Amino acid sequence: MYKAKAYSAASASSPLASTSIARRDPTETDVQIEILFCGICHSDLHQVRNEWSGVMPTVYPCVPGHEIVGRVTKVGAGVTKFKAGDLAAVGCMVDSDGTCPACKEGLEQFCPNMTLTYNFPDKHLGGVTYGGYSESVVVDERFVLRVPGNLDLAGTAPLLCAGITTYSPMRHWGVTKGQKVGVVGLGGLGHMAVKFAHALGAHTVVFTTSPGKVDDALRLGADEVVISRDANAMQKHAGSFNFILDAVSAEHDINAYLGLLARDGNLTLVGAPEKPFPVSAFSLLFGRRSLSGSPIGGIAETQEMLDFCGAHGITSDVEVIPMQKVNEAYERLVKADVKYRFSIDMASLKG
Ligand code: NAP
Ligand code: ZN
């Protein structure tokens, strides 16, 4: 074991603060990574504040962070895909059993024995896993991704969660040229969804509660922008969408969006608000519409997404911050005030 600098929360109400954590020495199949950038996902905030206590209660101290990009510093003797000096990335998962039907299909996110990057039982050290708000991490090579060499690293980190979480359902539901696709909520996930929907050739419409984000939405690739609090503007799109991705972090009326789906259209929730919300049966049965959800994505698809981003020059639009500004960043996330992802420059943890 060795010590690594990190930022952790001691309770649901305490700010994140500097600490030191134990990391394992790399085993035969492990890759040790010096973290260069780590994105801030709204899930980090939900988890730190124990807002998902009913589903995934937080164990303290909590070191969040699952949008990790860095450089390999050491590899175990059995590692074949990486060597010291390579760029590498880690997302929301760090382990799975590798033998269940989900793993065999490359869908590790559905493995019953999957280990999330933080706040999950740590099979090596006991306690819970610690995430990327840290100077280094040690991960089995099966869960380490290759980073295309042409992408800005600060903007690449958010691809590991915001990227794959929006890319995966679009591929699953077959988003393609000629379709009309809606994206609800222009935050970290939402702005990646706009870039992917645009790159896949769909007519892309952004729904936002923030009039100040209209110009940005168009610049990011939207064909149209609707202020979702404007009922008349919403009504103009009734019954017209093939697919809508809802990436909102807080309570809102999803029936308003179900009504915008065309026949057989699908609305996929990727946003994970704290409280359940009502769904009108009629919003679904008129038009044989469906409502579904989607969690992150498998490792093979995450690599596919990174390679797609390399080929299309896609990264996240980031505000790079030092680790010491993380609590300020969280306050801005709550106010939907981020353009469009915070990316922590981990060099700020040194010294
Ligand atoms: P974010 O950057 O904070 O963006 C959320 C956006 O939702 C805001 O920018 C805002 O967009 C909109 N919004 C916020 N409060 C709202 C309200 N009261 N009513 C309507 N709209 C509101 O968050 P994120 O990191 O993209 O994450 C979004 C959600 O996805 C979170 O709940 C997160 O936990 C979840 N998530 C899920 C997965 C998964 O695997 N499914 C993975 C990662 C994250 P506008 O200003 O445009 O309205
Ligand atoms: Zn995330």
Q: What residues have a C-beta under 5 A from ligand 2, the ion?
A: 41, 43, 161
pLDDT digits (tens, 9 = 90+) for 85-116: 999 999 999 999 999 999 999 999 999 999 99
Closest by CA position to 4, among listed 92, 76, 97, 68: 68
Q: What share of the chain is helix, strand, coil (3-state, %, to 5)?
A: 30, 30, 45
Amino acid at 99: T
Q: What angle do CA 131, 136, 140 make, to 5 degrees?
A: 75
CA 176, 178, 179, 184: dihedral to nearest 10 degrees? 90
Most ligand 1 atoms within 8 A of CB, residue of 42, 56, 204 to mutate: 42
User: What is the H or E stretch that residue 304 is in?
Assistant: helix 299-312
Task: Give how far Cα 282 sits from Cα of 132, 239, 255, 259, Å.
Answer: 43, 13, 9, 9
Most ligand 1 atoms within 8 A of CB, residue of 249, 294, 341 to mutate: 249
Q: Could you tell me the distance, in angstroms and rounded to a whole number, from the CA of residue 158 to the centre of ligand 2? A: 8
| Structure tokens given for 301 | 């698809």
Provide the terminal-to-terminal Cα distance of the chain, rounded to the nearest Å: 21
Place of tokens 């980090």: 44
Q: pLDDT band at 274, cuts 50/70/90?
A: confident
Closest-lying ligand to the alpha carbon of 272?
Answer: 1
Q: Which residues line ligand 1 (CB under 6 A)?
A: 41-43, 46, 161-162, 165, 185-190, 208-210, 213, 247-250, 252, 270-273, 294-296, 333, 336, 338
Closest by CA position to 143, among listed 296, 4, 6: 296
Ligand 1 atom closest to 272 (CA): 32
Model's pTM, two decimal places? Answer: 0.98
Bridge partners (DSSP) listed for residue 183? 206, 245
Q: Could you tell me the distance, in angstroms and rounded to a whole number, from the CA of residue 265 to the centre of ligand 1? A: 22
Q: Could you tell me the distance, in angstroms and rounded to a whole number, from the CA of residue 23 to the centre of ligand 1? A: 31
Which 3 state secondary structure label does DSSP give 109?
helix
pLDDT beyond 90 at 342: yes
Q: Could you tell me the distance, in angstroms and rounded to a whole number, from the CA of residue 193 to the centre of ligand 1? A: 12
pLDDT digits (tens, 9 = 90+) for 204-237: 999 999 999 999 999 999 999 999 999 999 999 9
Task: Give CA–CA dist 184/163, Å, rounded.
Answer: 15
| Structure tokens given for 127 | 């306690």
Which 3 state secondary structure label does DSSP give 68?
strand
DSSP 93: E
CB 180 within 8 A of CB 241: yes
pLDDT beyond 80 at 351: no
Closest-lying ligand to the alpha carbon of 341?
Answer: 1
Task: Give CA–CA dist 263/239, Å, rounded.
Answer: 7
Q: What is the largest CA-CA distance in the chain?
A: 63
pLDDT digits (tens, 9 = 90+) for 6-32: 999 999 999 999 999 999 999 999 999
pLDDT value of residue 44: 98
Q: Per DSSP, which regions of the chain are E strands?
A: 2-8, 17-23, 30-40, 68-75, 87-90, 93-95, 115-116, 136-140, 180-184, 203-208, 224-227, 241-246, 261-269, 290-293, 318-322, 341-345
